[in-house]
Chains A and B, each alone.
Chain A
Amino acid sequence: MRRCYHFVLLLLLIAGTTRAGLGQPTDSTRHRVGLHRLVPHHTKLQFAGSIGWVSASAGYGIWKRKVEADISAGYIPRWHNGNTRGLFTAAVKLTVWPWRLPLTARTTVYPISVGMWGSLTPGDNLELFWPDYYPSRYYWSPTGVRTGGFLGGRLERALGPTAKARSVAAYYEAGTNDQLATIWYFNRRTVSVGSILHLALGIQLRFR
């Protein structure tokens, strides 16, 4: 229960780390060196996608928002994870959005995203480092360490000047992880691409 409480606090911290939270910058202060530089540009709430049954992230858009870097905290409830308890996942994710297509004055489609992530999921028999009783290089990467990649897309809606957020967006990702990709690569006759794909759905809020 204590663990759960800490996790909720963490989610609130990530989701609530707005510019307002660390001091309200104005246009004139936005580019000043200081703490404001560390304030995330956006937050995402995501369902599935290999980084938690549900996850919350904070991130930055760089190179005219063509690249986004996110750090996330995810949770996989016990009834969904096959482990002896609920699992927490920490992940970093890089997403590239090469194109944007304005649909209307306020609506923009990002038709394709390409991304990759790495995650840490400690748990019962889920290791971040192999225990000492294995010889070196006995197995693949530790069971609690995963990497993966995905393709996706996004629909973004700019909000009015009085809104507290700059824009809201919905996105999806279809991806897989290192283990499943390896299995698919060596068994393309019997293993279909569809069987290794994980679908993720998320919403993104971009701060002012």
Chain B
Amino acid sequence: MAADVPLEHYNQQALARLAPPATDTTRFVLTGDTQRFFDEAEDFVKSVNQQRGVQFVVHAGDITDFGIAWEYQQMHHVLSKLHVPYLAVIGNHDLLANGPTIYQRLYGPLNFSFVYGGHKFIFLDTNGREYGFQRPVPDLNWLREELREDSAAFTDALVVAHVPPFNSDFDPRFAAEYPAVLAASGRVRLSMHGHQHSTLHYGPHNNDGVQYLLPGSVEERTYVVVTLWPSGTKVERIFF
């Protein structure tokens, strides 16, 4: 993560709170689309707090429904009761109204990455429709660099992005290139997304060479626990 990001950003605070990995196993919870589902989010927090060995929580975007400061603050208040840090990528709803400014003030940059236990976690803004499909979103040049640089610093990578490339809200100009970049790197274990509120999707899509994981949404009272070890990946679905 860039060194010039102030520590008051929630994502930076979460990284500072991360307990160093004790073994070669990394375990995290993947959720998304908390939006206006505060009651469900509170139950989600209670459920995650009972999970053993979870090191952090990944929020796949749509923290809010309307992108307003009140929602950002209230949802953070709910999620900050998690016993482990949570990291969030921006979703399309988070970009509504003054959302872009608020997200960057509270959470930090829209694209960022960190390495944990030898795995590089890359958080990427893929909400192309919010920019009218007029901007280079997702920033695939940045993504390529993230997958290339410091090749010894990480053994594999996981991408967290709200809109999956097979959704119509992903900029069609980049929909084929995105999986190609991931596949070409040969280092990406999972491409993790929210947005579709779909029930669990774990597997390839159209044989594009990428393994996708969509956890379902908090609204559906479900999430997944992902366990990574050097030779394998395990995905468990939890209902709460």
Chain A contacts to B: CB under 8 angstroms: 81-84, 125-126, 131, 133-134, 139-140, 143, 179-180, 182-183, 186-191, 195-196
- Taking a contact as CB atoms under 8 Å apart, the answer to whether B132 and A143 are in contact is no
- Taking a contact as CB atoms under 8 Å apart, the answer to whether B97 and A143 are in contact is yes
Q: Give the nearest-CB partner of A191 in chain B.
A: B38
Please provide the 6 A-B residue pairs with the shortest distance between their CB atoms, ordered closest to farther. Answer: A187-B38, A82-B98, A143-B97, A133-B132, A190-B38, A187-B39
- Taking a contact as CB atoms under 8 Å apart, the answer to whether B36 and A133 are in contact is no
- Taking a contact as CB atoms under 8 Å apart, the answer to whether A190 and B42 are in contact is yes
- Taking a contact as CB atoms under 8 Å apart, the answer to whether A140 and B98 are in contact is no
- Taking a contact as CB atoms under 8 Å apart, the answer to whether A189 and B36 are in contact is no
- Taking a contact as CB atoms under 8 Å apart, the answer to whether A83 and B101 are in contact is yes
The complex places the Cα of A187 from the Cα of B101 at a distance, in Å, of 26
What residues on A are CB-neighbors of B67 within 8 Å? 143
- Taking a contact as CB atoms under 8 Å apart, the answer to whether A133 and B37 are in contact is no
Q: Mark B69-103, 1 if CB is under 8 A from A, else 0.
A: 11100100010000000000000000111111110
- Taking a contact as CB atoms under 8 Å apart, the answer to whether B98 and A179 are in contact is no
What residues on B are CB-neighbors of A179 within 8 Å? 65-66, 68
- Give the secondary structure class of B's interface: helix
The complex places the Cα of A143 from the Cα of B101 at a distance, in Å, of 15
What residues on B are CB-neighbors of A182 within 8 Å? 36
What residues on A are CB-neighbors of B42 within 8 Å? 189-190
Chain B residues touching A, range: 20 to 34
Q: Given contacts A82-B69, A131-B132, A134-B129, is CB(A126)–CB(B38) below 8 Å? A: no
What residues on B are CB-neighbors of A81 within 8 Å? 98
What residues on A are CB-neighbors of B41 within 8 Å? 190
- Taking a contact as CB atoms under 8 Å apart, the answer to whether B132 and A186 are in contact is no
The complex places the Cα of A195 from the Cα of B73 at a distance, in Å, of 11
- Taking a contact as CB atoms under 8 Å apart, the answer to whether A187 and B37 are in contact is yes
- Taking a contact as CB atoms under 8 Å apart, the answer to whether B98 and A125 are in contact is yes
What residues on A are CB-neighbors of B112 within 8 Å? none
Whether B133 is near chain A, meaning CB under 8 Å from some CB there, is yes
What residues on A are CB-neighbors of B74 within 8 Å? 191, 195
CB < 8 Å neighbour of A143 from B39, B66, B129: B66
What residues on B are CB-neighbors of A196 within 8 Å? 70
- Chain B residues 34 to 75 lying within 8 A of chain A, measured CB to CB, are 36-39, 41-42, 65-71, 74
The complex places the Cα of A81 from the Cα of B97 at a distance, in Å, of 11
What residues on B are CB-neighbors of A189 within 8 Å? 39, 42
What residues on A are CB-neighbors of B66 within 8 Å? 140, 143, 179
- A197: min CB distance to chain B, Å: 11
- Taking a contact as CB atoms under 8 Å apart, the answer to whether B78 and A183 are in contact is no
Q: Given contacts A125-B98, A134-B129, is CB(A183)–CB(B39) below 8 Å? A: no
Of B38, B65, B132, most A-chain CB atoms within 10 Å: B38
- Taking a contact as CB atoms under 8 Å apart, the answer to whether B36 and A143 are in contact is no
- B129: min CB distance to chain A, Å: 6
Q: Give the nearest-CB partner of B99 in chain A.
A: A125
Of A180, A183, A188, most B-chain CB atoms within 10 Å: A183
- Taking a contact as CB atoms under 8 Å apart, the answer to whether A190 and B78 are in contact is yes
- Taking a contact as CB atoms under 8 Å apart, the answer to whether B133 and A133 are in contact is yes
The complex places the Cα of A81 from the Cα of B99 at a distance, in Å, of 11
What residues on B are CB-neighbors of A83 within 8 Å? 98, 101
